[in-house]
Structure 1
């Protein structure tokens, strides 16, 4: 029985959103697959997004950046974390190799930690990487001017370059420093549109627009309690916001699959991030977004969304204030482009299937 070990970054939920469809497609090709997931992400979120049985090892092999909130990097804390992570780098790689050897894997897939790739190279274990970004490029963007950064960046690049292929999931950063990077179509889950049922569950009329506030997996609370009420508009917001208003409902207690929820609302409001952008576009859900102040991946995400989806950019201040009525009205007047097809999962799964002897 072939054994695949998959590392999934817990930096937000986009890495889970990318990996789940690939593993589900691989299971279709290889039903007897033995799967181990190594991740510091919440178990409930992993099991929501990855079908079938798998062994979870709750262990983080990367941190990406320390975030102040969903929009901003804590630069000082991130710098300290990277310097600590790379101190004694060879010993860290050796320890990860010992851990990985104990799992007795046939193949490794990383989205998108580089430490396990370095460990796999040490063991001679075949390994692939997959994402729309890599931490080496984001690290260079943030810390290129620092005297301590080049050796760390070199270790990151060497680890990523050791992968047999790096599947660049569209829309992806360019990754010019990774010669084995391989462009792949988008990966996204397609939901079932059930807008009538959703309105019935919420107890709102057919003329009421439903708008989902989704800021991803980095805990951020917007002051929704003070947002102005909009006629014929009902918000679906995270339960953690603790909002108690007749025109707002927490979406998690509904128990809906997130892809079905996203496909059933009239718009989603959030920030640039792969999971929300790709799934909004592929499900045909209009989107309002506010830029992140210093996140280079959005320079690939935003033009792609503009080309493939109904979308509109708003200022973060408008998002904080909930002053979105005019922007939503303008959003719903835009022409609807053809939806992109999320074929990437099948392509990556076929490559992994072949590597596993399928």
Structure 2
């Protein structure tokens, strides 16, 4: 029985959202693949995304970024977290290598923890990375912004991250994704997204709505962004929001109360409100759902995501004040009135599955 160890960044839900369609497709083709998920993401979230049994290994093998909200990076705190993580870099890699060996993994997939890639190399186990970003370039971007790019310690950390990514047999760079000129083994593949069951009538029936009432999903991503919806004006749309917001007013329903998969609700909605994150953008585009979004402003992956959405989906930017005050209804209606482009196909799923089959040396 081949065993695959999948390491996931715990920075929001996007890394797991990118990976689950690929791993599920792999196991649909080869049901004998045993799975371990190495991450500190919540078990219940993983169980809802990954089909079939898996071993849960709560550990971090990267840093990500320290977030003040779903759209704001705490730069100083992030750099401090990297310094702490890399203080004993060899020890970190030893921990990752020991985890690979204890798991008896035949291959490693990382989205996109770099210490696990270096650990797999140290353990003699083949590994690939897959993501729309890499932490080497994200770290370098924010270090430069903080005026720390030329510090010797920062240069050392950046070199350690970059070397770890180069230890992978390949880096599957998802479309859309940031350019990765420093990773010679980067190979661009198509989008990765789930396709949902589009049933607008069924969704409205669950919500008790008339056929002419638009349903708009608020999808802030895995990092909390609680909006002050109690002060929003009455709208013609009905909003689906996270249950954790605790909203109790007409016109709002908690997503979890619907008893439907996230992607089915998204595919059946008339629009989505979110931020430029790979999972929300790719799933909105591939399911043909219009989206309004608020820029993060300085997230280095953002230009690639926004540029791709402009060509492949009905999308529009709104300001932070418009989001905070719920003043985006007219823009959403404008998008809904536009001709819908042909949704891009999530071809990256099959491309990544083929790469993993080669890595596991099975067909």
- Could you state the TM-score of these two structures normalised by the residue count of structure 2? 0.96
Distance 1:357 1:332 in 2: 46
- Residues 164-183 of structure 1: pairs in structure 2 closer than 5 A: 164-183=169-188
Aligned-pair CA distance for 1:95: 2.2
Residue in 2 aligned with 1:226? 231
| Partner in structure 1 of residue 73 of structure 2 | 73
Q: Which residue of 2 aligns with 1:214?
A: 219
Asked if the contact 1:96–1:115 (Cα under 8 Å) also holds between the matched residues in 2, the reply is yes
Structure 1, unaligned stretches of length 5 or more?
none
State the secondary structure of the residue aligned to 2:248: coil
In 2, Cα distance between equivalents of 1:169 and 1:48: 23
Indicate the larger mover: 96-105 or 270-279.
96-105
Structure 2 unaligned spans of 5+ = none
- Deviation at 1:316? 1.3
Deviations 1:119-162 (CA, angstroms, capped at 9, x unpaired) = 11112211100000010010011003411311000000000000
SS class of match (1:219): coil
1:301-340 paired onto structure 2 within 5 Å: 301-340=305-344
Q: State the alpha-carbon separation in 2 of the partners of residues 35 and 325 from structure 1.
A: 43
Number of residue equivalences: 357
Does residue 264 (structure 1) correspond to residue 268 (structure 2)? The answer is yes
List structure 1 runs of 4+ shifted beyond 6 angstroms: none
1:95-117 Cα offsets, whole Å, 9 max, x none, are 22122211111101100000011
Structure 1 counterpart of 2:106: 106
Q: RMSD over aligned Cα, in angstroms?
A: 1.0
d(CA) in 1 for partners of 2:25, 2:305:
24
1:8, CA displacement in angstroms?
1.1
Once the two structures are TM-superposed, the CA of residue 311 in structure 1 deviates from its matched residue by: 0.9
Matched residue of 1:288: which SS? Answer: strand
The corresponding residue for 1:129 is 129
Deviation of residue 217 (structure 1)? 0.1
2:127–2:359 CA contact under 8 A, matched in 1: no
Q: What do residues 25-55 of structure 1 show as CA deviations (whole Å, max 9, x unaligned)?
A: 1112221111111111111111111111111
Instruction: Provide TM-score, normalisation by structure 1.
Output: 0.98
The farther-off stretch of 26-35 and 158-167 is: 26-35
**C-alpha contact 1:288 1:311 (8 A) present in aligned 2:** yes
Give the corresponding residue for 2:295. Answer: 291
1:1-358 aligned within 5 A = 1-144=1-144, 145-146=147-148, 147=151, 148-231=153-236, 233-358=237-362
Q: 1:29 touches 1:353 (CA, 8 Å); kept in 2?
A: no
Task: Please give the alpha-carbon distance, in whole angstroms, between the structure 2 residues aligned to 1:80 and 1:356.
Answer: 37
Shift of 1:76: 1.4
What secondary structure sits across from 1:332 in the alignment? helix
Secondary structure at the aligned position of 1:10 is classed as: coil
Distance 2:141 2:74 in 1: 14
Cα offsets for 1:309-358 (capped at 9, x unmatched): 01111111100111112211211122211110001111111111122121
The alpha carbon displacement at 1:11 in A equals 0.9
Contact 2:63 2:85 in 1 (8 A): no
Write the distance in 2 (CA, Å) between the matches of 1:343 and 1:52.
23
- The answer to whether the 8 A contact 2:61-2:92 is kept is no
Q: Cα offset for 1:293?
A: 2.2
3-state SS, counterpart of residue 31 of structure 1: coil
**Contact conserved, 1:30 with 1:353, CA < 8 A, in 2?**
no
